[in-house]
């Protein structure tokens, strides 16, 4: 099924026998929800419900909602499963593909990437094209690595905003195929090698110098927030209920360290972390987010106090040097 610029591959055969299905869509697909529901109802004869809650990744499976609505299946669109996330409820994933022009992508890499030993990575929307790109590049003399990553990574070459383990440390440079700057900047900070970012929609290639400059700016911002947290007395430790973001163990360890330093802290558990919701609890001097790293790194300006990651907390309390700054990751 083609909807807008997406090719959506619903496994209809696997949906037989379910009576009530809750579907979960990322925000870009919600506009097509009613069309998807019509088709699913016609093909499955099941009751189809749609979740309106935000959905940013496969870490965020609406199992609680499915249970409370008496659904017998959760159908999650647009993300690949997280292999090491065990869920005790029937969940199926729907591939959502953004087709790309592999010849043009190859041409752009050949004309702009000088290193010949490269690692290529991408997001779920383009993952199925990586092998074809690799074959094309190998014919042109490149050595191309598509690494497997750790237990959070469903397919070789996939990167998540919280996990860059599929980036090969042995390559001279990395080519990220996808949109946005978060992933290439994160990779640049994680492996400190040249990173190119190839946007297959606008067909532009961003150079390692530009990515590195963005990474420097991000690190400066983070340094500012860590510095601004020095002297903080009251900490809010944020824990997400989302199954693949829940790091309560990390939160408890942070709280213990704060107690040893005679600082006050409060563990706040929530589904989606929103600055407004935190205001109800009064003033905090610093938030430490153990949830999706993107909340602290992308959205920090929305919070009333500095919001830092667990890695940055280590720097704050002197357990890690700033020179050893790494991206917060979930494994
Ligand atoms: S934790 Fe954040 S970056 Fe990781 S999969 Fe979830 S939404 Fe994506």
* Structure-block tokens of residue 328: 């917060």
Q: Is the pLDDT of residue 193 over 90?
A: yes
Residue 104 has pLDDT above 90, yes or no: yes
Question: Rounded to the nearest 5 degrees, what angle is found at the Cα of 114, between the Cα atoms of 108 and 120?
Answer: 65
pLDDT at 192 over 90: no
pLDDT tier at 101, thresholds 50, 70, 90: very high
Q: Does the pLDDT value for residue 308 go beyond 90?
A: yes
With 0-12 / 13-18 / 19 or more C-beta atoms within 10 angstroms meaning exposed / middle / buried, residue 108 is: buried
**CB distance 89 to ligand 1 below 6 Å:** no
**Whole-number average pLDDT of the chain:** 96
Residues listed for the chain:
331
Bridging pattern class, strands 234-240 and 307-308: unpaired
Q: In sequence order, what are the residues at sequence separation of 6 or more whose Cβ sits closer than 8 angstroms to the Cβ of residue 219?
A: 189, 325
CA-56 nearest atom, ligand 1: 7
Ligand 1 atom with the smallest distance to the CA of 245 is 1
Site to probe by mutation for ligand 1, drawn from 155, 162, 328, 329 as the one with most ligand atoms within 8 Å of Cβ, is 162
- Mutating to test ligand 1, I would choose from 62, 153, 246, 330 the residue with most ligand atoms within 8 A of its C-beta, which is 330
Cβ–ligand 1 distance for 292 under 6 Å, the answer yes
Domains of the chain: 2-95 (3.40.50.11840), 102-206 (3.40.50.11850), 222-324 (3.40.50.11860)
Angle at 88 between CA 83 and CA 91, to 5 degrees: 65
Hey, CA dihedral for 330, 232, 277, 302, is it positive or negative? Answer: negative
- Quote the CA–CA distance of 174 and 94 in Å, as a whole number: 28
pLDDT tens string 199-239: 999 999 999 999 999 999 999 999 999 999 999 999 999 99
Over range 109-113, report the average pLDDT: 98
Tell me which residue has its CA closest to atom 5 in ligand 1: 57
Residue 219's pLDDT is: 95
Question: What radius of gyration, in Å, describes the C-alpha atoms of the chain?
Answer: 21
Question: Which atom of ligand 1 is nearest the CA belonging to 59?
Answer: 6
Q: Is the CB of 208 under 6 A from ligand 1?
A: no
The predicted model gives 234-258 an average pLDDT of 97
Testing ligand 1's pocket by substitution, the residue of 245, 247, 272 carrying the most ligand atoms inside 8 A of its CB is 245
- What 8-state DSSP symbol labels residue 236? E
User: If we measure between CA atoms, which residue out of 285, 311, 275, 288 comes closest to residue 237?
Assistant: 288
| Mean pLDDT computed over 312-316 | 98
Q: Is the per-residue pLDDT at 106 higher than 90?
A: yes
To the nearest 10°, report the CA torsion of 234, 244, 155, 151: 80
- In angstroms, the CA 199 to CA 296 distance is 25
pLDDT at residue 272, rounded to an integer:
87
Percent of the chain with pLDDT over 90: 98
Beta bridge partners of 124: none
| DSSP state string for 112-175 | H---SEEEEEE-GGGGGGHHHHHHHHHHTT-EEE----STT-SSTTB-BTTB-TTS-TTSSEEE
Measured CA to CA, the distance from residue 94 to residue 23 in angstroms comes to 10
Q: Ligand 1 centroid vs 192 CA: distance in angstroms?
A: 22
* Contact indicator for 226, 195 with CB cutoff of 8 Å: no
In this prediction, residue 23 carries a pLDDT of 98
Q: What separation in Å is there between the alpha carbon of 146 and the centre of ligand 1?
A: 21
26 lines ligand 1 (CB under 6 A): no
CA distance 186 to 41: 41
């Amino acid at each position: 099924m083609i909807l807008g610029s997406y090719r959506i591959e619903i496994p209809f055969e696997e949906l037989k026998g379910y009576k009530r299905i809750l579907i979960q869509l990322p925000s870009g697909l919600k506009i097509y929800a009613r069309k998807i529901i019509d088709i699913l109802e016609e093909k499955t004869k099941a009751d189809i419900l749609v979740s309106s809650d935000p959905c940013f990744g496969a870490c965020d499976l609406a199992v609680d909602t499915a249970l409370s609505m008496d659904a017998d299946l959760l159908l999650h669109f647009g993300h690949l499963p997280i292999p090491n996330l065990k869920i005790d409820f029937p969940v199926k994933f729907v591939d959502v593909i953004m087709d790309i022009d592999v010849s043009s992508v190859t041409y752009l890499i050949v004309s702009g990437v000088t290193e010949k030993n490269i690692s290529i990575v991408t997001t779920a929307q383009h993952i199925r094209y990586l092998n074809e790109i690799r074959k094309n590049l190998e014919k042109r003399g490149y050595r191309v690595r598509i690494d497997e990553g750790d237990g959070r990574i469903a397919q070789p070459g996939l990167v998540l905003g919280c996990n860059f383990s599929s980036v090969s440390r042995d390559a001279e440079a990395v080519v990220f195929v996808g949109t946005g700057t978060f992933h290439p900047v994160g990779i640049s900070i994680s492996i400190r090698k040249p990173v190119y970012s190839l946007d297959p929609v606008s067909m532009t290639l961003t150079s390692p110098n530009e990515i590195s400059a963005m990474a420097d700016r991000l690190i400066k911002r983070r340094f500012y927030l860590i510095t601004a947290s020095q002297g903080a007395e009251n900490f809010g430790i944020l824990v997400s209920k989302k199954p693949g973001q829940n790091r309560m163990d990390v939160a408890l360890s942070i709280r213990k360290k704060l107690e040893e330093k005679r600082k006050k802290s409060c563990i706040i558990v929530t589904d989606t972390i929103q600055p407004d919701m935190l205001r109800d609890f009064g003033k905090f001097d610093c938030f430490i987010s153990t949830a999706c790293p993107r909340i602290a790194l992308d959205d920090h300006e929305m919070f009333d106090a500095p919001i830092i990651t667990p890695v940055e907390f280590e720097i704050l309390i002197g357990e890690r040097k700033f020179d050893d700054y790494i991206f917060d990751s979930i494994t």
